Amino acid sequence: MRPPGVVERVRAAQQADRDWYAARPHLALAHGTRRFISLTGLLWFHDHPVQRTLEVLSEVVAARATGADLATQAEQPQRCLSVALMLADRVGFPREPSSGYVDETQELLVTLPPRVLLSREDADTHADLTLVNEAWWRAEGTSTPYSAACMVGAVGYWRPEDRWGLAGHMKELRTRFEDEPGERPSIEQEITDSLERFLVDYEVWWAEVDS
């Protein structure tokens, strides 16, 4: 059982995370792009309404329109942005989407990102997309450990046993981060190190599978 005051601690942790991004407006495009790609992976599990993913996509488009960049020249984040902009062109943003539009849009959102970014279409693709995406952005220092743990931990509710044990581990780290404020620096480092190790393991695994 978690210590008393969990709701207050979670809200405080979430607000601190929002404040971190608000204090870094140069990361707006990176923040939106990361969230969008991760949400497309979670959308496969009906984790949230399609409209939420579209709202984040509209934030990406708006940030791009201001001339913002990703604050990194790394290949994978750039590919993520290209996928987001491609989907923005395909999807559009009608104010009152029809049910048919929503169905078609969801199909695009859950199909194209893993196909383009991971070159995969197997049963684990969508969950792995969120894991890999969060590891990419954390490696660039353009996301917080807490936001990465939250996104990856969300995968753990739908696929608690991935082949790397990452989603379940991130759920535990997220809970510890919220419940043990005094230990947050070490927990943040553990999150970052775990994602770094995962990314190496994933690339080794994929090289073997794809050979």
**Residue pLDDT tens, the chain, 211 long:** 888 999 999 999 999 999 999 999 999 999 999 999 999 999 999 999 998 999 999 999 999 999 999 999 999 999 999 999 999 998 876 555 555 667 788 999 999 999 999 999 999 999 999 999 999 999 999 999 999 999 999 998 898 888 999 999 999 999 999 999 999 999 999 999 999 999 999 999 999 998 8
Whether 1 is in a domain gets the answer no
Whether 190 is in a domain gets the answer yes
Residue 16: partners with Cβ closer than 8 Å, 6 or more residues away:
146
Domain hosting 42: range is 11-210
Rounded Cα distance between 163 and 132, Å, is: 13
86 burial level (CB within 10 Å; 0-12, 13-18, 19+) = middle
Residue 194: partners with Cβ closer than 8 Å, 6 or more residues away:
166, 169, 170, 173
Whether 3 is in a domain gets the answer no
Domain count across the chain:
1
Note whether 105 and 54 are within 8 A (CB).
Answer: yes
Rounded Cα distance between 203 and 99, Å, is: 39
Whether 32 is in a domain gets the answer yes
Tell me the pTM: 0.94
Note whether 136 and 77 are within 8 A (CB).
Answer: yes
Whether 6 is in a domain gets the answer no
Note whether 131 and 167 are within 8 A (CB).
Answer: yes
**Whose CA is closest to 75, among 20, 31, 143, 140?**
140
Note whether 88 and 60 are within 8 A (CB).
Answer: yes
Whether 26 is in a domain gets the answer yes
Backbone angles phi, psi at 49, to 5 degrees: -65, 150
